[in-house]
Structure 1
Amino acid sequence: MQVKKIVGKKLKEIRLKHDLTIQILADKSQVSSNMISRIERGLTIPSVEILMRLANVFDKSINYFVEDVSSSHEVVFTRTGGRDKTVYDDEHNMHTESFTSGLRDPQFMSFYCTVQKGGKSGESNMYHPGDELIYILEGHLKMTVTDEVYLLEAGDSLCFKSHLPHRWENIGDQEAKVIWTLSPFTII
């Protein structure tokens, strides 16, 4: 099924389940009634910002609208080596394995990350909605949050509001193994 149709179908279902008219949803979400109608009819794919506004009305993550229910589950068990893997660009030198891939409408995302020696998020800070939890399994990671530097090593954790400007860098002489959890789901 096309993404446009999945999003439209899910939006209409949840709107009707909550007994909302298109106009009431428009007022609550600050999204035009015309846009909501076009989304529900599968005529357009909304931007991430619009999806976030709609998701907030129903206390859902944006994943709720884009996941195909037939391919997601309420319980996900994955053996070592079976997790979905992502390799970020050479600048980041980070490989991730998702713990939550396949979970229906997760309210958080969690990853097992391997950050190569010298790997970093970049020279400029990032910031986004939500919360982050970082737990170091092996190695060292330098986290800068609002210009305060935290030198993390095995067994250390750091939790912070992601809207604060932040960046990371592996300053150790080996790979850093990290469990990284974000809520709501955002991109590391």
Structure 2
Amino acid sequence: MPNEIAEQDFQGAAQAQATDAEIGARIRSLRRAKGLRLTEVAAQTGLSIGYLSQVERGISSPSLRVLTTIAAPLGITYAELFRTGAVDTASDSIVVRRAERGSLGLRGTGMEKQLLSPPGGSRLNLYEVVLQPGGASGEDLYVHGGEEAGLILEGEMELTVEDRTWRLQTGDSFRFASGRPHRFRNPGAVTARVLWVNVSEPV
């Protein structure tokens, strides 16, 4: 049993590192396509050039706050950073099969986001957020453009918006403007699943 657990941990760490590398490569590709230097992105985001370079090389694992911050000067929503499967083009970007879901697992956060809506530049995006016990968006409150809402499908979630905190149970729901500082975490002992909607501002 200990060997099996160690093997699972190793596989999980390897997958997380591969995801970081994919996200970093995607960010670098988008930055270059926009004709932006790292110095320009650093100036617009307040993040250091060294840290941005580490993110692009897959050395550092970015938080949700960092991803949303980097997405702004690139002119995208962070939904466009998700890894996606082979999308069925015959569906005209209307249907997403389970195997086609884009996914974004953030190393060390205990959280995974799956993109349930078709990729491709829409301002409306639907996610399933899976939070392991103790999993969180991060210690820091963060902001981005748009509006969001959600429904707790399983487990519980603690949501903080500005100076107020709510402990939400299965069946509870929420909505708030994304420009209000916020964060969330799973304070429970079981995995939480949240259906989450983001509507971004026009780019």
With the length of structure 2 as denominator, give the TM-score of the two structures: 0.54
Rounded to whole Å, the distance in 1 between the matches of 2:187 and 2:77 is: 34
Rounded to whole Å, the distance in 1 between the matches of 2:121 and 2:139 is: 33
Query: Which residue of structure 1 lines up, in the alignment, with residue 124 of structure 2?
Result: 108
Rounded to whole Å, the distance in 1 between the matches of 2:157 and 2:31 is: 40
Q: Check if 1:98 corresponds to 2:98.
A: no
1:118-148 Cα deviation digits (max 9, x unpaired)? 0112222111111111211000000011111
| Change in CA separation of 1:137 and 1:83 when aligned onto 2, cut-off 3 Å | same
Aligned ranges for residues 74-89 of structure 1 at < 5 Å?
74-89=92-107
1:83 shift after superposition: 1.1
User: Matched residue of 1:158: which SS?
Assistant: strand
Number of residue pairs aligned between Structure 1 and Structure 2: 131
Moved more, 71-80 or 169-178: 71-80
Query: Which residue of structure 1 lines up, in the alignment, with residue 156 of structure 2?
Result: 140
| Change in CA separation of 1:175 and 1:49 when aligned onto 2, cut-off 3 Å | closer
Given that 2:155 and 2:191 are in contact with CA atoms closer than 8 Å, whether structure 1 keeps it comes out as yes
If you compute each CA radius of gyration, which structure gives the higher value, 1 or 2? Answer: 1
Rounded to whole Å, the distance in 1 between the matches of 2:99 and 2:77 is: 27
Given that 2:145 and 2:200 are in contact with CA atoms closer than 8 Å, whether structure 1 keeps it comes out as yes
1:87 shift after superposition: 0.9
Query: Which residue of structure 1 lines up, in the alignment, with residue 49 of structure 2?
Result: none
1:99 shift after superposition: 1.0
**% of aligned pairs identical?**
27
Letter in 2 for 1:109: N
Aligned residues: CA RMSD: 3.2
Q: Where does the alignment leave 5 or more consecutive residues of structure 1 unmatched?
A: 9-46, 53-60, 64-70
Rounded to whole Å, the distance in 2 between the matches of 1:50 and 1:88 is: 21
Letter in 2 for 1:148: R
Query: Which residue of structure 2 lines up, in the alignment, with residue 165 of structure 1?
Result: 181
Rounded to whole Å, the distance in 2 between the matches of 1:176 and 1:142 is: 11
More helix by share: 2
1:75 shift after superposition: 3.0
Aligned ranges for residues 40-79 of structure 1 at < 5 Å?
49=72, 52=75, 74-79=92-97
With the length of structure 1 as denominator, give the TM-score of the two structures: 0.58
Rounded to whole Å, the distance in 1 between the matches of 2:105 and 2:98 is: 17
Q: Where does the alignment leave 5 or more consecutive residues of structure 2 unmatched?
A: 1-28, 36-69, 79-86
Given that 1:100 and 1:106 are in contact with CA atoms closer than 8 Å, whether structure 2 keeps it comes out as no
